[in-house]
Structure 1
Amino acid sequence: MDPQENATQPPVNPICRTRDAPYSYEILQSLDTTGILLFAMLTLMTLVTLLVFLEEAYYMYRKIPSHKYYLIIWINAGAMMISTTSCFGMWIPRSTMFTDFTASVFLAMLVHKFQLMLVNECGGRKEFLSKFGDTKLKISTGPFCCCCLCLPHTDINRRTLFILKLGTFQFAFLRPVLMFLAVVLWTNGNFVIGNSSLNNATMWINFAIAIMTITALWAVGVLFNLVKNTLNDQNIVPKFAVYQFTVILSQLQTAVINVLGTMGIIGCVPPLPGSSRASYMNQQLLIMEMFLVTVVCRVLYRRRYDEGENLIENLETNDNLQNSMVYVNPKALEDGPYST
């Protein structure tokens, strides 16, 4: 290169040469008026998401039987926790690994609890097996078996149901373990977000997490295709759509944005290097997306149980009237209508 041309090029900011995320005070000092308003709006959305979830959890606790409400609370908690951890990661960029670890725990539990809810809404394991015992289970479904149409249909029994539950339980158990290992290796410099080198632990941990995620999604998809017609009156299709929306946004969107940051498509803007800016943008998107997911979940899960609650109250009122007539009528018949 010509020395004269090299001299005319602006010097590269040293921040863009590093992968280290900035401190919180560096982010706050770099914010202009638009940035301050954006931070305030996203923080407010996170607070509203948390309040909506707490109100919904309180309603579920008071109005729904215990064998149902704890599953629904866990499912609704997924979007709230992703939004909350993303807000912390936005304010404190160096905490991204810890916030990702916390969000991954709740996401893994969300997948497992959603599958348990499908069985529970059918009346539990015994009722599920008696209802679908004569049905053949189609296992050629997504994400990785949708092209294998030659796979045979299998019988539905306790062993089959156990294997499907194991498909999501391994995700709920092993994903937090691998994420904890990633945090430990990150503190030692062996885990770098966006590093795809074969000699680095990042690629192998991400590959293992991807396989476990696909297996868990397959187990939920197989069960959903079986029960969706039976649970159609319980808004199970939109509930499943929202569940998939949450998983895809928190996994696929995050992976794509991190790859764009690693490849330099999302460039460095001081004080944020490219990889940190990619995580920063993803966290802001997740806050807005999980806010919408929380609102939609409240509508879907609340509407059904409002109707059920009214039905139960009407049945209890009729029972009380009938009991009153049983106790009053014999005395009226014995004394006669004109007795004094």
Structure 2
Amino acid sequence: MDHKNAICNNSYIPNTAEYMEALGPYGASVMVIGGLISVGLYVLFFEQVFFTQTNAHRIYRRHIFWIASVYPLMAALSVLSLLVPRANDICTAVKITYMSVGISHFTDLTLLMFGGEEVMLQTMAESRFNLQVGPSCCCCVCLPSPPVSKFSIRLVVMLSDQLPFTQALYHFLVLVLLSANNITIGSVSWKDASFYLYIFNMASFMSGAYALSLLTYVSKGHLEHYSYKV
């Protein structure tokens, strides 16, 4: 594609050579710094793996390994999307889906740290969920404070566990429609399928993040011996 036409085409994705040329003298520095950060995060990850394998009970390990691997993987994929700009959409899909699975693992790990659902219910017999937490309802002072019950716990877990599936579905549909050139990224027209996909994605992600906020907030003060922090 002609460089002049590429400037006017918002959907055009540059190749690696064009991207490095646009970065100019900073291109190599950005790549090196990004690579060093990724290596550093993986060093910390393997240190965490060794510590967890040595000190944590086996029922916690799988969840801890997955949660600890989120940041290094996202950093590595970010560097990859800089090196290969046209792989950015795939890298983003993998990053968000992987992070969503990590959130689900964090929810499961929280319940395990209580000793399971039944123990959590006994521990929080007098506790209530504070619905006035971010990201969606921090300004709604009229919301009630429902008691911690089996139903409310399972609802929070369900909102968290839906995240990997809905995010994977969203990114799969976006990649398929992009490959078919049937959507325009960034379009806010109700005639474009991307508009409805964005609404679906926002509802999915916000409900998952809200469930995580609810769970971490209600757990505050009960899991200090695990250094559990909000």
Shift of 1:165: 0.4
Alignment correspondent of 2:64: 72
Alignment correspondent of 1:13: 4
Question: What's the TM-score once normalised by structure 1's chain length?
Answer: 0.62
Q: 1:178 aligns with which of 170, 175, 185?
A: 170
Q: Matched residue of 1:154: which SS?
A: coil
Alignment correspondent of 1:96: 88
**More displaced stretch, 192-201 vs 90-99:** 192-201
1:134 equivalenced with 2:114 (yes/no) = no
Please tell me the root mean square deviation across aligned C-alpha atoms, in Å: 2.1
Given residue 87 of structure 1, which amino acid in structure 2 is its aligned partner? Answer: V
Superposed CA offset, 1:90-139 (max 9, x none): 00001111001100111111222222222222222221111112323333
Q: Cα distance 1:28–1:162, how it changes in 2: closer, same or farther (>3 A)? A: same
Shift of 1:148: 3.0
Superposed CA offset, 1:245-276 (max 9, x none): xxxxxxxxxxxxxxxxxxxxxxxxxxxxxxxx
Alignment correspondent of 1:304: none
Shift of 1:193: 2.6
Given residue 16 of structure 1, which amino acid in structure 2 is its aligned partner? Answer: I
Bigger relative contact order, structure 1 or 2 (CA pairs below 8 A, ≥6 apart)? 1
Q: Cα distance 1:136–1:49, how it changes in 2: closer, same or farther (>3 A)? A: closer
Output the CA distance in 1 between the equivalents of 2:210 and 2:29. Answer: 41
Given residue 5 of structure 2, which amino acid in structure 1 is its aligned partner? Answer: P
Given residue 227 of structure 2, which amino acid in structure 1 is its aligned partner? Answer: N
1:193 equivalenced with 2:185 (yes/no) = yes
Q: How many pairs does the alignment contain?
A: 227
Shift of 1:233: 4.4
Shift of 1:37: 2.4
Q: 2:201 aligns with which of 182, 206, 209?
A: 209
Give 1:156-305 correspondences, 5 Å limit: 156-237=148-229, 240=230
Structure possessing the higher radius of gyration over alpha carbons: 1
Output the CA distance in 2 between the equivalents of 1:157 and 1:134. Answer: 10
Output the CA distance in 2 between the equivalents of 1:113 and 1:54. Answer: 18
Output the CA distance in 1 between the equivalents of 2:160 and 2:116. Answer: 17
Alignment correspondent of 2:33: 41
**More displaced stretch, 24-33 vs 180-189:** 24-33
Given residue 53 of structure 2, which amino acid in structure 1 is its aligned partner? Answer: Y
Give 1:321-332 correspondences, 5 Å limit: none
Q: Cα distance 1:85–1:152, how it changes in 2: closer, same or farther (>3 A)? A: same
Kept in 1, the 8 Å contact 2:129–2:218? The answer is: yes
Q: Give ranges in structure 1 of 5+ residues lacking alignment.
A: 1-11, 241-340
Shift of 1:177: 1.0
Shift of 1:220: 1.5
Alignment correspondent of 1:290: none
Kept in 1, the 8 Å contact 2:34–2:75? The answer is: no
Given residue 150 of structure 2, which amino acid in structure 1 is its aligned partner? Answer: R
Q: Percent identity?
A: 18
Alignment correspondent of 1:6: none
Q: Give ranges in structure 2 of 5+ residues lacking alignment.
A: none
Shift of 1:26: 3.0
Kept in 1, the 8 Å contact 2:163–2:205? The answer is: yes
Output the CA distance in 2 between the equivalents of 1:203 and 1:57. Answer: 41
Shift of 1:31: 5.5
Q: Cα distance 1:90–1:226, how it changes in 2: closer, same or farther (>3 A)? A: same
Superposed CA offset, 1:282-301 (max 9, x none): xxxxxxxxxxxxxxxxxxxx
Shift of 1:32: 4.2
Q: Matched residue of 2:107: which SS?
A: helix
Alignment correspondent of 1:280: none
Question: What's the TM-score once normalised by structure 2's chain length?
Answer: 0.89
Output the CA distance in 1 between the equivalents of 2:108 and 2:198. Answer: 26
1:151 equivalenced with 2:138 (yes/no) = no
Kept in 1, the 8 Å contact 2:70–2:102? The answer is: yes
